[in-house]
Amino acid sequence: MAGHAKLLLYIVVVDESGASSFRYTRSLLHSTLQLMGCKPRHAFEISRRVFDVVRGDPAEMEMLMAMSQGKRGVQRYELPDAATSPRQFQFELYKRRTTVLIPRDLFLHLVCQALALYKYLAPNQRNHLTLACRIRERKESVTVLLCGTSGCGKSTLSTLLGSRLGITTVVSTDSIRHMMRSFVDEKENPLLWASTYHAGECLDPVAVSEAKARRKAKKRSGVSSNSGMDYEGSGDKVEGKPIGKKQMAIEGYKAQSEMVIDSLDRLITAWEDRKESVVVEGVHLSLNFVMGLMKKHPSIIPFMIYISNEGKHTERFAVRAKYMTLDPTKNKYVKYINNIRTIQEYLCSRADKYLVPKRL
C-alpha cells in the first residue's frame, strides 16, 4: 500500500499501455502546475497535497483507486529478482521505500481534485494539465516568441518567463546575429553588422524606392511574386517616390530581420525534433516573418512587448550608456530613439493586423 511509503520522493506515472512512464518529484510537479497557469504559491501547495494523499491515508487512496474503474491502482516499486551487487540492492531498496507507481488516469484525477480545492475549475482543466505534462515529459514542445524593439524589456521578461514556466533554454536573436557575423566581414555585409535601428543607413534609398514601386505595380496588376513574371528583368524602369527617414529605418530593420529569421527557422526545427521547449526574444522577430514561421511550426506562441510612453522608453536607455546619460552624443540609443519608436509603431500595427497579443 501507498501508506507504507513513509518517505515518498517520487511518483512514477505509468501510461495505460504500460510501455512508458515518467517520474515526478514535488518540484517537477510544482513546475508543471505553473506551466499550466497556477500561481507559484498554489502550485507549491497543490503539489504537496498530491504527495501527501499518495503517501498518507490508505482509506482515501482506496476510494481513489475505486474511481479508476477497476484499473491498476497505486503500486509500490518492485525489487528486481536478482540484484547485481549488494550496493545495487541497497539502491533498489531505497527506490522501493521512496517510490510509488500510479496509473496516469488516476494521477490526473488526483491532481485535478487538488486543483479544484484552489478554485482552478476551468472547463478544460484536465486537458490543460495533460498538455502541461506532455510538455514537461518532452512529448510535446512549445516555442514562445517575445517580439519588440530595443529597450522594451524583452530580455528581462524572457528570463522571468523561462524561470516561471520551467523552460531552461532562453535564446536572443542578437546571439544568432552575432554568430552570423563571424562568417562574414563587415565590409562584405555592412547591413548584418549594423544595429536594427540604423540598418536603413546601409541601404540605397533609390533601390529601395524602386523595389517598393515594383511591388505596388505587381499588387495593382494582381501578379503574385511567384507567377513567373519578372518586372525587374522586363527592361521597364519603375520609378518610385522618394523615401523618408522613417520608412528607411523600417526597411533596414526588415532587411536585417529577414537575414536572421532564416537561421532561427532552422533552430526551431531542431528544437521541435528534440521536443525541447524554448523562449526566444529579440528585435528581429518582425511579425510578418513570425506569421510565416507559425505556418511551419505549430509550437510557436508569439507575444508583442512594447512601451507606450516615449519618455519612459528613453529613460530605460540611460543604463545602457557608458556614462549613464541621456545625452544623444554619448548614448547611441537616445540618438536613434526616433528610429526605435518608428520600428515599434510598425511592429504594433503588424500585431494588431495579425491579432498577436500585446503586453505593455
Domain boundaries, the chain: 2-136, 143-196+254-359
**Residues with Cβ < 8 Å from 244, sequence gap 6 or more?**
none
**Residues with Cβ < 8 Å from 268, sequence gap 6 or more?**
143, 278, 280, 293, 297, 299, 300
Contact (CB, 8 A) for 246 and 109? no
Contact (CB, 8 A) for 256 and 196? yes
What is the arithmetic mean of pLDDT over 101-115? 93
What is the arithmetic mean of pLDDT over 238-264? 88
- Per-residue pLDDT at 228: 46
- The pLDDT confidence band at residue 48, using thresholds 50, 70 and 90, is very high
In this structure, which amino acid lies at residue 41?
R
3-state helix, strand, coil in the chain (%, to 5): 55, 10, 35
| Cα gap 333→345, rounded to integer Å | 17
- Per-residue pLDDT at 229: 44
The count of C-alpha atoms lying within 13 angstroms of the C-alpha of 29, restricted to the half-sphere facing its C-beta, is: 27
What is the arithmetic mean of pLDDT over 57-65? 63
For residue 212, give the C-alpha cell.
Answer: 517598393
What is the arithmetic mean of pLDDT over 344-357? 96
Q: Which residues pair with 278 in a beta bridge?
A: 143, 169
Q: Is the pLDDT higher at 269 or at 360?
A: 269
- Per-residue pLDDT at 92: 73
- Per-residue pLDDT at 148: 97
- Per-residue pLDDT at 342: 97
User: Mean of the per-residue pLDDT values for the chain?
Assistant: 87
- Per-residue pLDDT at 195: 95
Q: What CATH number matches the domain at 143-196+254-359, 3.40.50.720, 3.40.50.300, 3.40.50.970, 3.30.465.10?
A: 3.40.50.300
pLDDT above 70: residue 76: no
Q: Is the pLDDT higher at 310 or at 219?
A: 310
pLDDT above 90: residue 68: no
CA–CA distance from 52 to each of 33, 75, 97, 204, 253 (Å)? 16, 16, 15, 68, 54
pLDDT above 70: residue 193: yes
Q: Name the least confident of 7-16, 184-193, 224-233, 237-246.
A: 224-233
| Cα gap 109→68, rounded to integer Å | 9
For residue 110, give the C-alpha cell.
Answer: 488526483
pLDDT above 50: residue 3: no
What is the arithmetic mean of pLDDT over 127-147? 97
| Cα gap 17→99, rounded to integer Å | 20
The β-bridge relationship of strands 21-24 and 300-305 is: unpaired
What is the arithmetic mean of pLDDT over 175-192? 95
Q: Is the pLDDT higher at 273 or at 96?
A: 273
Q: Which H/E stretch holds residue 244? A: none
pLDDT above 90: residue 17: no
- Per-residue pLDDT at 329: 87
